């Protein structure tokens, strides 16, 4: 078992973290089969955790993220062992590798910083630091990932062999429906990249979540009787509402206003001046954010003001300075008491000072939806789920490649709670791109196969398997079977059915 993704950088240090795992990504220059992986265990933990992912593209620079497709995961395995795998990699595929030793704490084997020049089967390849801000062992992996060229290299040994003719393949294509997230955010990284001046968005209640769309109300300049909230640097205060405001999961009769650009339903989210997506997603109180280091207490700064007009509560940053600048920012949060609609509108923003983080999250821990370009998506709309109904889209994968003379499982995952019945569809005709199913009441879903054979599934949880037997018949080598799953899951669209991605099963003899 030759080490063919190699060399990797020499060991330099161990990075230990309860919530971060490191590795590397590459774009394969040749087809190959990953036959094994192992994490160097310089910290003598005795166990390792490894994940291999397929990526739709080169992963973006942190803090932007990409959602991977998990191809292999092994947890709490002896660190002395090379863990066997059987993963086909095509030339041009983007592959991410994550691994560390330990369980509650990820002990990452670090090498030199920067991208590293290596080879695969003698062909040059660049290995670049790959990271996730999650504990691979305790989460089961398959979390949002990023790249960071300048960071230390996460060392994982990867063993490969050539991919010859007749190699079996199991290749997903298209996308399932629906990704459901209760939160959203755009992390601008720097103030200069903030691009929402003189724009805005509204959030309309939609059951337990919101539909987000372009602003339905304009900025209203504060009246002469608006209340000065007397906020200083990194401070907060509570304002009473004249009636209850409907929010996901209940109502509130007051708002907690922080000088640093966020409004919560109650105290508890703090007054930090450092915007952080992880905090937005885990703060205990429901909140709406334009998080930035503002300082309304600076000499000459405008004020944060509050008033109610015709059943709408307005919280306005009226020319408030950034911390350590004299550049004003004007923005407004609007809360419509009767309907629960929330609107955030911007006047002229400074694009100076510290970074900006814009978004919303219900109270408590919610899943990370990844960085959203608000200015690109809000000309349309998107929907947020309730906190209890979060989850990724329905997905179909294979337990192994379809080699003649073997039996594999077709595994449907991310099945919504309450689903009792579904089916896996098989056919010899592929639709890629898929056929839009919006016309039958499944908007955002697609048909990826003719589905000439349907195998019914009695669902008993979040995953379901269907056996797929490949006879030991040489003539079957080279045949492609196309698969897709559908689940009867009520409440997600008019038809009450959702669909997975497609899966291209190329039968081979090795």
Conformation bin of residue 122: beta by default, left when phi > 0, alpha when psi is -120 to 50: left
385 and 475 in one domain? no
Classify residue 239 as exposed, middle or buried by CB count within 10 Å of its CB (0-12, 13-18, 19+).
middle
> Into how many domains does the chain fold?
3
- Contact assessment for residue 12 and residue 90, using Cβ atoms and an 8 Å cutoff: no
189 and 157 in one domain? no
Among 374, 389, 404, identify where a domain stops: 389
- What is the separation of C-alpha 339 from the centre of its chain, rounded to a whole number of angstroms? 30
> Among the residues of 243-401, which ranges form H helices?
277-282, 374-377
Structural domain for 292, as ranges: 184-389
What CATH number did the domain enclosing 447 receive? Answer: 2.60.40.10
363 and 214 in one domain? yes
361 and 260 in one domain? yes
420 and 341 in one domain? no
Q: Dihedrals φ, ψ of 292, to 5°? A: -165, 160
39 and 153 in one domain? yes
- What is the separation of C-alpha 76 from the centre of its chain, rounded to a whole number of angstroms? 25
pLDDT, average across residues 38-59: 94
pLDDT, average across residues 252-261: 98
The rounded mean pLDDT for the chain is 92
411 and 312 in one domain? no
pLDDT at res. 3: 41
pLDDT at res. 266: 97
Cis peptide before 37 (omega within 30 of 0): no
For tokens 């997975």, the residue is 500
Q: Is the pLDDT of residue 339 over 90?
A: yes
d(CA 25, CA 205): 40
Q: Is the pLDDT of residue 4 over 60?
A: no
Among 107, 133, 163, identify where a domain stops: 163
343 and 243 in one domain? yes
What are the tens digits of pLDDT across the range 180-218?
899 999 998 788 999 999 999 999 998 788 999 999 999
209 and 197 in one domain? yes
- Contact assessment for residue 446 and residue 485, using Cβ atoms and an 8 Å cutoff: no
* Residue 209: C-alpha distances to residues 182, 360, 367 (Å): 7, 11, 14
- Contact assessment for residue 259 and residue 296, using Cβ atoms and an 8 Å cutoff: yes
- pLDDT > 70 in the chain, percent: 98
Task: List the structure tokens of 472.
Answer: 């030991």
The dihedral sign for the CA sequence 11, 12, 18, 21: negative
Maximum C-alpha span of the chain: 84
Among 344, 363, 389, identify where a domain stops: 389
- pLDDT > 90 in the chain, percent: 71
d(CA 165, CA 474): 13
> Of 138, 119, 135, 139, whose CA–CA distance to 127 is shortest?
119
pLDDT at res. 458: 94
> Of 342, 393, 340, 346, whose CA–CA distance to 369 is shortest?
393
What are the tens digits of pLDDT across the range 295-331?
999 999 999 999 999 999 999 999 999 999 999 999 9
289 and 235 in one domain? yes
What are the tens digits of pLDDT across the range 67-92?
888 889 999 999 999 999 888 898 89
pLDDT at res. 365: 86
311 and 447 in one domain? no
Q: Is the pLDDT of residue 5 over 70?
A: no
Q: Is the pLDDT of residue 409 over 60?
A: yes
pLDDT at res. 162: 85
Number of residues that make up the chain: 510
Helices vs. strands in the chain: H and E counts, helices first: 3, 38
Q: Is the pLDDT of residue 351 over 80?
A: yes
- How many CB atoms within 10 Å of residue 390? 19
pLDDT at res. 6: 59
């Amino acid at each position: 078992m030759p080490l063919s993704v190699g060399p990797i950088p020499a060991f330099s240090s161990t990075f230990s973290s309860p919530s971060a795992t490191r590795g590397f990504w590459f774009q394969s220059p040749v087809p190959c089969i990953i036959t094994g992986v192992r994490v160097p265990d310089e910290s003598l933990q005795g166990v390792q955790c490894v994940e291999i992912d397929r990526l739709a593209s080169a992963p973006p620079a942190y803090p932007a993220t990409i959602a991977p497709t998990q191809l292999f995961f092994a947890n709490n395995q002896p660190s002395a062992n090379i863990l066997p795998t059987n993963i086909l990699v095509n030339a041009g595929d983007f592959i991410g590798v994550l691994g560390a030793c330990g369980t509650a704490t990820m002990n990452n084997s670090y090498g030199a910083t920067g991208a590293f020049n290596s080879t695969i089967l003698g062909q040059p390849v660049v290995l670049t630091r790959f990271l996730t801000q999650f504990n691979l062992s305790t989460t089961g992996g398959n979390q949002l990932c990023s790249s960071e060229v300048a960071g230390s290299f996460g060392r994982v040994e990867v063993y490969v062999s050539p991919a010859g003719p007749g190699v079996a393949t199991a290749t997903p294509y298209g996308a399932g429906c629906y990704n459901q997230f209760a939160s959203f955010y755009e992390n601008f990284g720097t103030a200069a990249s903030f691009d929402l001046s003189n724009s805005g968005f509204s959030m309309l209640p939609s059951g337990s979540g919101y539909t987000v769309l372009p602003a339905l109300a304009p900025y209203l300049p504060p009246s002469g009787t608006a209340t000065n909230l007397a906020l200083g640097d990194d401070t907060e205060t509570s304002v009473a509402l004249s009636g209850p405001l409907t929010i996901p999961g209940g109502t509130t009769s007051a708002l907690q206003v922080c000088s640093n650009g966020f409004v919560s339903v109650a105290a508890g989210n703090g007054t930090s001046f450092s915007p952080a997506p992880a905090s937005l997603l885990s703060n205990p109180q429901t909140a709406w954010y334009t998080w930035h280091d503002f300082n309304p207490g600076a000499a000459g700064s405008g004020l944060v003001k509050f008033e109610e007009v015709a059943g709408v509560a307005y919280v306005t940053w009226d020319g408030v300075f950034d911390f350590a600048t004299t550049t004003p920012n004007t923005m407004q949060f609007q809360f419509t008491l009767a309907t629960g609609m929330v609107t955030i509108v911007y006047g002229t923003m400074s694009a100076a000072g510290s970074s900006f983080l814009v978004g919303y999250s219900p109270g408590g821990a919610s899943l990370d939806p990844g960085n959203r370009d608000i200015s690109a998506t809000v000309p349309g709309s998107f929907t947020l789920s309730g906190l209890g109904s979060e989850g990724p889209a329905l997905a179909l994968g294979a337990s192994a490649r379809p080699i003649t003379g073997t039996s594999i499982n077709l595994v449907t995952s991310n099945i919504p709670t309450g689903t009792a019945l579904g089916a896996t569809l098989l056919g010899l005709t592929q639709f890629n791109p898929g056929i839009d199913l919006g016309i039958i009441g499944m908007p955002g879903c697609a048909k990826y196969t003719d589905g000439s054979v349907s195998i019914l599934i009695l669902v008993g949880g979040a995953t379901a398997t269907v056996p797929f037997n490949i006879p030991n018949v040489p003539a079957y080598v080279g045949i492609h079977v196309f698969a897709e799953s559908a689940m009867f899951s009520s409440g997600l669209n008019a038809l009450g059915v959702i669909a997975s991605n497609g899966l291209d099963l190329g039968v081979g003899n090795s």
